[in-house]
A = this chain, B = another copy of it.
Amino acid sequence: MSKIYRVNMTEKKVTVEDVPEKYAQLGGRSLTSKVVFDEVPANCHPLGPNNKIVIAPGILAGTAAPSSGRISVGGKSPLTGGIKEANAGTPTAQRLGRLQVKAIIVEGLATDGAYLLKLNNDGAELVPADDLKDKLTSEINKQLFEQYGEKIGIMTIGVTGDYKMGMAGVCFNDAEGRASRYSGRGGLGAVLGSKGLKAMVVDDAGAPGVEIKDKDLFKQGQKKMVEALRTHDVTKPGGALNSFGTAVLVNILNEAGGYPTRNFSDGKFEGAQPTSGEAIAEAVQKRGGGMMGHGCHPGCVIRCSNVYPNEDGTEMTSAVEYESTWALGANCGIDNLDDIAMLVHLCNEIGVDTIEAGVTIGVAMDVGVVPFGDGKAAIQLMDEIRRGTPLGRILGNGAWFTGKAYGTTRVPTVKRQGMPAYEPRAVKGIGVTYITSTQGADHTAGYTIAPEILSVGGQVDPLSPEGKVELSKAFQATTAFIDASGYCLFIAFAILDIPTGMEGMVETVNAVLGTDWKPEDVAPLGMEVLKDELLFNKNAGFTKEDDRPPEFMRYEKLPPHNQVFDIPDEELDKIWADVLK
C-alpha cells in the first residue's frame, strides 16, 4: 500500500503515514504542489523552519511505461519566493515508485549538522552525514554506492546547497550512477541545505512494485505510447533527439533568430554550429569515450541524453543538453565546446542548475566581471561559487541577484528566475510561458516551441503576438498533467501529433490509479494543479505585476528581427483571470 514518509529534521524523526484519499490520484508535480499548498505557509521564509520539501515520484514511475522515470521535488523557492516544482529523470524515481512511496515530506530544520535519509522496504531513518559536506557530488555518489551497494538510488545536494545558494539544485543519479540528473531550478537544493538533509539513499530490494489496478489497460496504453514515441520524427530511435541530443535545437533556434546570445543582446550566435548537437555528436564519434542516445533512466525510448568525452577519449561529463550548451555557451559568448562541457561538469559537481548558472555568468559578463567569450574565466567563476567566496555568493544566488549586485537593468529573469534558451522577443509564446508561469521563467512549464518552431502540434508564427496567451495557457495546463504522470515532457511531441499517443498516456495513468480519465480531461486536470500553484503564489504576495517581462525587453530591440516583446500587459493578465479574481 502506498505511503507517505514524513521526515522531521528538527526532531530527527521519520514517521510513515497512509495516503489521504485527497492525494490518492496525485503524483509527481500534482502531489508536490498540493502538499506544499496544504502544508507550507505561503509567506514563510524559504530557508526557515516552516518551509517544507516534498519529493514525489510521478504516477507511473517504477512501471514499465516508457520514459516515465520522473521525480518531482517541490517547496517554496528561495529563488523566486513562490511555489516550485522541479523534476528530473532518474532511476531513483523508479525505485521510490516500486517501494510504493507516494511522497517524502521533509520539514523542520536540523541545526546540528548534515543528515542522510536511508530509505528501504523496511522503512526510513536519518543518520549523521557531516562527512558528506564539502564534497563534490561525484565523490558523494561514489562514497554512498560503496557504502550502501550499487543498487541504490541517490539524491544529494552539492556544496552550493550547503551554502543555501539560490541556484542550488537537487541532484539524482543517472542510469549508471553519475550525479548528473537535476531537479535543478528554483534553488530547492538550498532548502534541503537549510534543513540539513544532505542526501538520501533509496534501496528498493524486496520492493512490492507499483500497484497497477488494471493490468490489461496498462499494457494497452503502454503499447500505444511506445508506438507513438517510436514513430514520431522527434522522439523515434535514430530521430532528432536520439541522434543529436536536445542540442539538435541549437542550429534550429539560431536559424530562427531566437537563440539568446551574450546575455540576451542578440538572437543569433556566430558560434552556434561548433556548440550544437551535431558538433557534440561529432566529438563523441571522433574521440570515443562518450555516447549519444544515452538514457537518463532505464526504460526510456527517447534516450536524448549524452556522455561527452575529453579530447583523449576519457569521459568528461553527462550531459551536454541544449539548455546547458546554450546557457554556458551562446549566452556567455563561449564557442568552445570543451569549455562548455567542463562548465556543465562543474555545475553537476557543485550542485547548481546549469540554466541559472549560465544566465548568471551572462549577466556578470555583461557588467564586465569577466569578458564575454572567455570560457576559462567562466570556469574560474564556477570555482568562486564552489568556494563560497563573496563573488561566489553573488553568482551562486543567481542572475537576478547578480544583476542587482552590479546595478544593471539588463537582467533576463521573471520572478527572479533566469530565462532559458529561447528569446521571448523572437518566440513570443514561450515568452508568455516564462512570464506567466507559476515557476518563474521556465520553458518546460509550457513548451510552445513545439508549434512555434518545430511545427509540432500545429504551426504558428513565432514573431506574432497573436493568440500566444491562449497557446501558452493550453500548453501550461497539459504540461502540469504530464509532470504529474511521471512521463518525461518529451512525450509531448508524440502525444500532440499522434492521437493514440495521447490515449496511451491517459490509459496508463488510468490503469495505475483506477481512474476513468479521457484525453479531454488532461488540460482541466492540469489546470487544477496550476490553480494550487497560482493560489500559493497569490498568498505569498504575487500579483499580476510579477507576470511581467524584464522591462528592457519592452524597449530594447533584439537583432536580427529587431523586435521588442510586444504582448501588452493587459493581454498577459487574461491568462489566469479566471483563477485569480
Contact = CB atoms under 8 A, between A and B. Distances in A.
Interface in A463-522: none
A487 B475 CA distance: 58
B552 A166 contact: no
Interface string A400-414: 010011111100000
B406 A393 contact: yes
Given A48-B552, A390-B391, A404 B409 contact: no
Interface string A338-361: 000000000000000000000000
A541 B552 contact: no
B393 A397 contact: no
Interface string A240-252: 0000000000000
A397 B390 CA distance: 13
A543 B394 CA distance: 28
Contact of A545 (B164, B407, B541): B541
Contact of A194 (B165, B194, B407, B555): B407
Given A390-B390, A539-B545, A545-B539, A551 B401 contact: no
A190 interface: yes
Interface in A511-543: 539-543
A50 B545 contact: no
Nearest to A168: B407
Contact of A407 (B190, B390, B404): B190
A43 interface: yes
A546 interface: yes
Interface string A44-55: 110111100000
Interface string A163-207: 111100000000000000000000000100110000000000000
Nearest to A48: B409
List of 6 A-B pairs having minimum Cβ-Cβ separation, nearest first: A164-B407, A541-B545, A390-B391, A390-B390, A393-B405, A48-B409
25 contacts: A42-B545, A43-B551, A45-B409, A45-B550, A45-B552, A47-B408, A48-B409, A49-B555, A78-B407, A164-B406, A164-B407, A165-B407, A190-B407, A194-B407, A389-B390, A390-B393, A390-B394, A393-B394, A393-B405, A393-B406, A540-B545, A541-B542, A541-B543, A541-B544, A543-B543
A443 interface: no
Contacts of A397: 404-405
B166 A551 contact: no
Interface in A541-567: 541-546, 548, 550-552, 555
A409 B193 CA distance: 13
A548 B43 contact: yes
A394 B42 CA distance: 27
B193 A407 contact: yes
A266 B54 CA distance: 35
A193 B407 CA distance: 10
B548 A407 contact: no
A76 to B, nearest CB: 12
Contact of A405 (B394, B540, B543, B544): B394
A360 to B, nearest CB: 13
A48 B405 contact: no
A511 B461 CA distance: 65
Contacts of A394: 390, 393-394, 405
Contacts of A165: 407
Contacts of A542: 541
Contacts of A390: 389-391, 393-394, 405
A432 to B, nearest CB: 17
Contact of A166 (B50, B393, B404): B404
Nearest to A50: B551
Interface string A23-59: 0000000000000000000111101111000000000
Nearest to A389: B390
A375 to B, nearest CB: 21
A393 B540 CA distance: 28
